């Protein structure tokens, strides 16, 4: 059977059913494992101009066809900076440029602005090998400095590390795991007494603000709610990144095509939303993405972002909550460190050796840190009566 690999300028050139047949074939029987590589999410970024010209994220989706049928795909981007990736390579860029090299543009296999683990080479194992080799080949033939595959699955990382010159990187995030809890109180009972009391106090403090909290999904979400959330997002994005990554039109696209994939937790003063947290719903994982407010209240951030997410996950029987990048403060609230995987191809041979040595050292440090932080986690020790 003949195989053909093509690059496209936009995902809108590819039919949704064709892309989703390899990105999320499981949605034929329910939710996709994660919503971020679905056609509707990536197209929402494109159509809203959150990605594309002027954003530093130029879409170049790659598709593998066999016998005229799509059997594999890659969310591929040409990057002119290192913003919105959450697995940082700024130091690598500076080092290469100091040595007289040119780091940008580079290639990125990723979901823009989304630090959530998921498949990046969409298709079966044979397609994965073909697609990864194709991406490396594109970078090499075009004289690009590097290719980065961020927030890939552990399976992809272990399978592809060392193949096609790909280097394996391990970083970390904090995730909440459902240990079979039926209620939030069951989760609290699993914690050490001091942490249990702290969380109860934080929830009481947030409720004492006098605000009402509503968790909305699907048709419960109204366009006016996005008007409010846009204000929250602008405030947080402006403080964190200088310029928010997403445009206002992105949220309109989400309302039109993805509201069933969304959990929007809003705090109201009367009928007016004053704070909110945006989550996306996967098959067994809730993904926390953005938070913001126009009124500051003690512990409201913890309530909307962490405790409401845990409540929802328990109620829906979900396995975990991924609360986004960074944040050791999550540890005390039941979110434990887990390894996060990425793959990197470096064009310059000498620079590749230097990066490889750095990654070996970094991996050992991350492993040790995860071990130490887990030991200091909030859960009761085995055999403890606390």
Same topology for domains 3-173+338-375 and 179-318, yes or no? yes
Q: Report pLDDT for 356.
A: 98
CATH superfamily of the domain spanning 3-173+338-375: Gcn5-related N-acetyltransferase (GNAT) (3.40.630.30)
CA 130 from centroid of its chain's CA atoms? 25
What pLDDT, in 10s, does the model give residues 173-226? 999 999 999 999 999 999 999 999 999 999 999 999 999 999 999 999 999 999
For the cut 70, the answer to whether the pLDDT of residue 386 exceeds it is no
Q: Is 262 left (phi over 0), alpha (psi -120 to 50) or beta?
A: beta
For the cut 80, the answer to whether the pLDDT of residue 228 exceeds it is yes
What pLDDT, in 10s, does the model give residues 139-172? 999 999 999 999 999 999 999 999 999 999 999 9
Q: Report pLDDT for 385.
A: 56
3-state helix, strand, coil in the chain (%, to 5): 45, 25, 30
Q: Which range is least confidently modeled, 19-33, 56-70, 326-340, 341-355?
A: 326-340
Share above pLDDT 70 across residues of the chain, in percent, rounded to a whole number: 97
For the cut 90, the answer to whether the pLDDT of residue 273 exceeds it is yes
- CA-based radius of gyration for the chain: 21
Query: Are the C-beta atoms of 38 and 24 separated by less than 8 Å?
Result: yes
- Our CA angle for 88, 347, 245, nearest 5°, is 30
pLDDT tier at 274 (50, 70, 90 boundaries)?
very high
For residues 41-52, average pLDDT? 98
For residues 365-373, average pLDDT? 96
Q: Which residue has the higher pLDDT, 239 or 269?
A: 269
For the cut 70, the answer to whether the pLDDT of residue 383 exceeds it is no
DSSP 244: -
Query: Are the C-beta atoms of 205 and 298 separated by less than 8 Å?
Result: yes
Q: Report pLDDT for 177.
A: 98
Q: Report pLDDT for 327.
A: 81
For the cut 90, the answer to whether the pLDDT of residue 243 exceeds it is no
Query: Are the C-beta atoms of 281 and 262 separated by less than 8 Å?
Result: yes
Q: Report pLDDT for 240.
A: 66
Q: Report pLDDT for 381.
A: 80
Q: Report pLDDT for 236.
A: 76
pLDDT tier at 74 (50, 70, 90 boundaries)?
very high
Q: Report pLDDT for 1.
A: 59
For residues 40-60, average pLDDT? 97
Mean pLDDT of the chain: 95
Q: Is the Cα dihedral 151, 153, 157, 163 positive or negative?
A: negative
Q: Which two tokens stand for residue 134?
A: 């194709």
For the cut 80, the answer to whether the pLDDT of residue 86 exceeds it is yes
Q: Report pLDDT for 133.
A: 97
Q: Report pLDDT for 382.
A: 65
pLDDT tier at 350 (50, 70, 90 boundaries)?
very high
For the cut 60, the answer to whether the pLDDT of residue 60 exceeds it is yes
What backbone torsions phi and psi does residue 108 show, to the nearest 5 degrees?
Answer: -135, 125
Instruction: Fold for 179-318, please state it.
Output: Aminopeptidase (3.40.630)
Q: Report pLDDT for 141.
A: 97
> Strand, helix or coil at 75?
coil
For residues 309-316, average pLDDT? 98
User: Which sequence spans correspond to the domains of the chain?
Assistant: 3-173+338-375, 179-318
């Amino acid at each position: 059977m003949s195989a053909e690999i093509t690059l496209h300028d936009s995902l809108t050139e590819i039919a949704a059913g064709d892309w989703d047949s390899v990105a999320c074939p499981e949605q034929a029987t329910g939710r996709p494992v994660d919503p971020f590589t679905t056609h509707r999410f990536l197209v929402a970024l494109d159509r809203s101009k959150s990605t594309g010209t002027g954003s530093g994220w130029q879409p170049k989706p790659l598709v593998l066809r066999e016998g005229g049928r799509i059997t594999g795909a890659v969310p591929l981007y040409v990057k002119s900076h290192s913003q919105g990736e959450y697995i940082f390579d700024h130091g690598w860029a500076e080092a290469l440029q100091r040595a007289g090299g040119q780091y940008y543009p580079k290639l990125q296999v990723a979901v823009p602005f989304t630090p959530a683990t998921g498949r990046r080479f969409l298709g079966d194992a044979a397609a994965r090998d073909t697609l990864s080799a194709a991406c490396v080949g594109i970078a090499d033939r075009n004289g690009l400095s590097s290719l980065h595959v961020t927030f890939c699955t552990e399976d992809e990382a272990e399978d592809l590390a060392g193949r096609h010159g790909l280097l394996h990187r391990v970083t970390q995030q904090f995730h909440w795991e459902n240990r079979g809890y039926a209620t939030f109180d069951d989760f609290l009972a699993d914690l050490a007494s001091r942490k249990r009391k702290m969380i109860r106090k934080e929830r009481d403090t947030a409720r004492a603000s006098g605000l009402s909290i509503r968790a909305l999904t699907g048709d419960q979400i109204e366009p006016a709610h996005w008007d409010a959330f846009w204000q929250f997002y602008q405030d947080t994005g402006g403080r964190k990144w200088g310029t928010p990554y997403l445009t206002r039109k992105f949220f309109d696209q989400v309302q039109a095509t993805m509201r069933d994939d969304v959990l929007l937790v809003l705090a109201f003063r009367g009928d007016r939303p004053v704070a909110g947290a945006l989550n996306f719903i996967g098959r067994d994982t809730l993904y926390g993405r953005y938070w913001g407010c126009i009124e500051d209240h003690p512990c409201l951030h913890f309530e909307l972002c962490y405790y409401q997410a845990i409540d929802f996950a328990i109620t829906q029987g979900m396995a975990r909550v991924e609360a986004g990048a960074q944040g050791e403060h999550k540890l005390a609230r039941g979110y434990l460190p887990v390894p996060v995987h990425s793959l990197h191809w470096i064009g310059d041979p000498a620079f590749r050796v230097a990066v490889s040595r750095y990654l070996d050292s970094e991996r050992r440090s991350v492993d040790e840190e995860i071990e130490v932080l887990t030991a200091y986690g909030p859960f009761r020790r085995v055999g403890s009566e606390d």
